[in-house]
Amino acid sequence: MSKQLEFVHVLKSIARNKQMKASLMNSKELSPLLLRAAQRFITGEKRNDGLLIAKQLIEKGYFISLEYIGENTTTLENSEQAKNEFLQLIEEMGAQSMKETVSFDLSHIGLNVDEETAYRHLIELVEKAQKYNMTLMVSMEEAARTDEILAIYKQIASQYENVGITIQAYLPRSIHDLNELLHYPGKIRLVKGAYQEPAHVTLSRSSELNHRYLQLAEQVIKAERSLSIATHDELLLAECEKQKFLQLPNVQTEMLYGIHPDLLKRLKSKGYQTSTYLIYGNDWYLYLCHRIAEYPENLYQAMIDLMNPSPIKECERY
């Protein structure tokens, strides 16, 4: 195994290590330092931080998606708190006429409590979003959860049009899953996949994975469904452009806040629909680890940010 691959595995294990997370996040010295590095990728810890940057990006001509960051809530009380925060977020976006998208993990709003709780909370969010002409996007989590997430999504998507789902190209099953999902009206967000799964479960980053990604994108386009091409991969995006995917009215290119703003800006200047995925909240630790693990060079920037007390203004790069 190369040193880089080993580093990625170690970082992803650190990310999932609850004890390590608790000692870092509870440390009065370390936690504010890490927050500085996280601010490359998150808008801030408060709802208003997210809304403020969302507004600025909308004014610059981007679509946005907002997420109150978190996952794996294990108690009913915490899942209700998360659901209530999302309801409030939708309410405030609606009040500010942001007819945009709210994204979340089902495990944040109750999937770990039980499926019924997640379903009940999801209905509440979808109905609130519908009131304001907003879209909800369900994220995709570990492969062990795909069946549960798809089952809940299908139940909701057969009743409401304003909810979409994320599909991971690294899962071989996605071709089959997508065939079924295309019977529902919701938007499809296509990602490569972020989780550390056993090697036999996923395709690793490769030209084969990019080929699979293009196949899945074409499948959605042929079915005339809305598609988010959610990747920062310049070569893959160039291929999507060559195949005239980006030019289509129901196709958006979507990137995570803080990653390749230059590339997204360039695509926007060509007249393509571009969207930024914004995160806020205080449970950003795992998110930061994922962003470094998927691109280890980010560690250099993180170290620089740790030592730099001046505020990071990532938004200005868009």
Contacts with ligand FDA, residue ranges (CB under 6 A): 139-140, 166, 168, 189, 191-195, 205, 230-233, 254-256, 259-260, 277, 291, 294-295, 298
Instruction: State the burial class of residue 275 (Cβ atoms within 10 Å of its Cβ: 0-12, 13-18, 19+).
Output: buried
Nearest distance from residue 241's CB to ligand FDA, in Å?
A: 15
Least distance in Å: CB of 92 to ligand FDA?
21
CB of 314 to ligand FDA, least distance (A): 12
The residue among 127 and 142 lying less far from ligand FDA, judged by its C-beta, is 142
Taking the least distance from each CB to ligand FDA, the nearer of 76 and 304 is 304
CA distance to 20, 146, 155, 167, 263, per residue, from 12 (Å): 12, 20, 32, 21, 26
Which CB, 124 or 233, lies closer to ligand FDA? 233
Complex with ligand FDA: residue 23 or 300, whichever CB lies closer: 300
Alpha carbon distances (Å) from 178 to 38, 183, 236: 33, 9, 20
The pair of structure tokens assigned to 86 is 């999302």
Rank residues 28 and 200 by Cβ distance to ligand FDA and give the closer one.
200
* CB-nearer residue toward ligand FDA: 221 or 289: 289
Least Cβ distance, residue 28 to ligand FDA (angstroms): 28
- Residue 5 one-letter amino acid: L
Are the CB atoms for 175 and 204 separated by under 8 Å? no
In this structure, what are the phi and psi dihedrals at residue 204, rounded to the nearest 5 degrees?
Answer: -80, 170
In the complex, the smallest distance separating the C-beta of residue 29 from ligand FDA, rounded to whole angstroms, is 26
Q: Residue 230 belongs to what H/E stretch?
A: strand 227-230
CB of 46 to ligand FDA, least distance (A): 22
Task: Give min distance, CB of 230 to ligand FDA, in A.
Answer: 4
Residue closest to ligand FDA when measured from CB atoms:
139
User: Long-range contacts of range 34-37, CB-CB < 8 Å, 24 or more positions apart?
Assistant: 34/285, 34/288, 34/306, 35/284, 36/305, 36/306, 36/308, 36/309, 36/312, 37/288, 37/301, 37/302, 37/303, 37/305, 37/306
Nearest to ligand FDA of 164, 193 (CB atom): 193
